[in-house]
Structure 1
Amino acid sequence: MSEEPEKKPIFYDRWAFRYLAIACLALIACAIGATFYNHHPKPLKENRFAKRDIHAGSSRAILTLASGKKISLDEAPNGILAEESGASIVRTGSGQITYAVHESALSSDTVKNVGVNHLETPLGGQYQVRLPDGTKVWLNAASKLTYPASFDPGAERKVELRGEAYFEIAQIANTPFVVFSGKQRVEVEAGRFNISSYPNDEAIKTTLLEGMGKINSDNIIKSGQQSINKKGNLEIIPANTKEAVAWKNGLFLFEDESLETIMKSICRWYNVEIIYVNENARKELFSLSVSRFDNISSTLKSLENTGFVRFKIKGRKITVLR
């Protein structure tokens, strides 16, 4: 009887199985990681500006008294800062001063000797002032307001503006409030309005939110209208009031506005210089709605998300790329 050939046992290397399992797990992990990266690339892009980010502006201004004394308001304590022309100048909180007029200021002698004050914000600054008549003014970045420490009772209340400001006028019967900005004169009895009058802008824009006023004596502007004054050529159009006062409400809000106009606002608020690689980019139209208190990277990222523009930050210079 023939014998069956002897069957030799087969030995499996258990370590080989372990290595194979580890390799499979590694491949699976890589596949999952690649899939996650492909679907979630944004964090890397959003960090592109992280090391070069620039903070938003804040409440900063210089008050110059009639004597020539300058007071840095962001460093000044709350309370009375000075007494001038029958009024106490008081810092009431962060970003605000008020003029408390004494009864003695109403005398003719005091009025004749009234001093002129200047409130000036730097690039990256804004401030609020309550004038001697109770009018409230919000001053935007890189702006200057000139006004008396007390107004002459019964006479026109006159102030001068360079830059941008929002006004809430205290109504006083038969006493118009007049704002001079560049070669423009705006007169109102009461109401709320915004004037943008930067020297490097092509036009002075006056937006009336409430009330009625006169521009250069013979042009009537009503609530909900905006005047555009280009070198004396005046046009009155329906206003986008939300856009006009968005800065005062803590927003960048632009609807189909040129990139140049948007970048000017960003330049003033973040205190940066804008450089264009392609000059044609200036006229491209964009819409934007973001907080003014975000860092500049967040604001620029919102514009980049359109896919039509990119930016590079180096120091305080912003290069516009296309």
Structure 2
Amino acid sequence: MKKSSLEKIIQDYLDGKIEESKLYELVQDYPLELVKKCFYDSMEVDYLLTKKYLKVDKEVAFKDFLHQIKKQTIPVKKLQNRRTYPFFKYAAIFLGVIGLGLGITTFLNSEDTHDTLTIGNEEVNLNLGDGNVKIVKGTESSDILDSEGRVIAKQTGNRISYKSTDKSGKIEYNEISVPNGKKFQLELSDGTIVHINSGSILKFPISFSVGNHRRVTLKGEAFFKVKKNEEHPFVVMTENFNVRVLGTEFNVSAYEEDSEASTVLVSGSVQLYDSLSPIKMQSKIKLIPGEKGTWNKDLKVLKRDMVDTTIYTSWIQGKLIFRDVPFKDIRKKLERRYNVTIVNTNLALDENTFSANFEEESIEEILEILDRTYEIEYEIKHNQIIIN
């Protein structure tokens, strides 16, 4: 097979023109060493031909490239002779390529000199609103009862389905807390499906009152597949903004510790508005499928952009996809996903951006990838991951 064809395949993937599954299929028949060479060559070309250099002479671009390498060298004695970061954002993608049986097993199973990391196993908590808290274990099935002893929902493993009932009068709420390291699924009484991500809390009515909006409150991240009801709009309330819909699929990320909160629309239509404004509906934006609405907590403004929605919804299938994401944000997601604490003492690293795909890897395997491929050193101390 021609090398030029392989180069085009790899560059198409880096440009986002083909998906990972297609990339894996197309490179199967090429020799490993040729795949490696073409991949590293493409990484360099991609760096030099970013938008920053589109109208710049290639010689000037290359000189600037060398200057950036020198400038980004980490001032730590034991790392002085190591490679720095300009190409590292593609390293995890390359690991995906060689992970097709081309050597990743040997790479990960080599001698490990790090201490053992003990990961806590917290359970999902369901606050029933009457002062009682039910511990929800994913290995069990049970009925959920209200304050009067009536069955209002059924738990089966990592899912709770609430019964469909029309109710007037006082609204009763339940609140579910999903700890780091866990995910959970709810079916609300109106048929709306909610996937709740790690480190999140959702407060919701056990039954939606006739004649009112369907309102839930979210801290953290969840994906909603809302049952359509034009007479009763569905509203997701967060600390900074609210999302108003009729029937649609969308993701909301509103963690308290994050600098931004966002909504990504997969299908249908949603309206975002500032929940802090005295006139709430005055500051609002409407999203169409494929758009992301972002609330900047410092600037207190809403903006929207076109995005690849799969990047923001892949966590439902147990995947983590990063595209040009600062390491400090990747750390937060890893902490939530694996219920670990990561302390980074390398401030320069925190601002570097990376692209990576993770699926079934354990946190230990990801740490080895960081250490051996990105050359980012770490140690486990007092059950914390310390990055040096």
> What TM-score, normalized to structure 2?
0.65
Higher helix residue share? 2
Cα deviation 1:183-212 (Å, max 9, x = unaligned): 201001111111111111000011011111
Amino acid at match of 2:376: V
Aligned to 2:325, which of 233, 257, 263? 257
Contact 1:84 1:149 in 2 (8 A): no
Cα deviation 1:88-142 (Å, max 9, x = unaligned): 2210x2210010134xxx2xxx421331110111122221111111101111111
Of structures 1 and 2, the larger Rg is shown by 1
Q: Is 1:234 matched with 2:302?
A: yes
Aligned to 1:221, which of 287, 290, 306? 287
Describe the shift of the 1:87–1:211 C-alpha distance in structure 2 as closer, same or farther (beyond 3 A): farther
Q: How many aligned residue pairs are there? A: 272
SS in 1 for 2:160: strand
Q: Is 1:304 matched with 2:371?
A: yes
Amino acid at match of 1:48: T
SS in 2 for 1:254: strand
Contact 1:271 1:316 in 2 (8 A): no
Describe the shift of the 1:43–1:285 C-alpha distance in structure 2 as closer, same or farther (beyond 3 A): closer
Within 5 Å, give how 1:1-322 maps onto structure 2. Answer: 42=107, 45=110, 47-49=112-114, 52-53=116-117, 60-74=123-137, 77-83=140-146, 88-91=152-155, 93-102=156-165, 106=166, 110-216=167-273, 217=281, 218-231=284-297, 232-291=300-359, 293-321=360-388
Distance across 2 between alignment mates of 1:165 and 1:62: 16
Contact 1:118 1:145 in 2 (8 A): yes
Distance across 2 between alignment mates of 1:157 and 1:279: 44
SS in 2 for 1:245: helix
Tell me how far 1:157 sits from its aligned partner.
0.3
Tell me how far 1:152 sits from its aligned partner.
1.3
Contact 2:266 2:309 in 1 (8 A): yes
Give ranges in structure 2 of 5+ residues lacking alignment. 1-104, 274-280
> What TM-score, normalized to structure 1?
0.78
Which deviates more from structure 2 when the two are superposed, residues 245-254 or residues 302-311? Answer: 302-311
Higher strand residue share? 1
Tell me how far 1:53 sits from its aligned partner.
4.1
Contact 1:116 1:149 in 2 (8 A): yes
SS in 1 for 2:163: strand
Tell me how far 1:258 sits from its aligned partner.
0.8
Describe the shift of the 1:162–1:62 C-alpha distance in structure 2 as closer, same or farther (beyond 3 A): same
Give ranges in structure 1 of 5+ residues lacking alignment. 1-39
Distance across 1 between alignment mates of 2:372 and 2:130: 51
Describe the shift of the 1:111–1:318 C-alpha distance in structure 2 as closer, same or farther (beyond 3 A): same
Distance across 1 between alignment mates of 2:256 and 2:306: 24
Tell me how far 1:151 sits from its aligned partner.
0.2
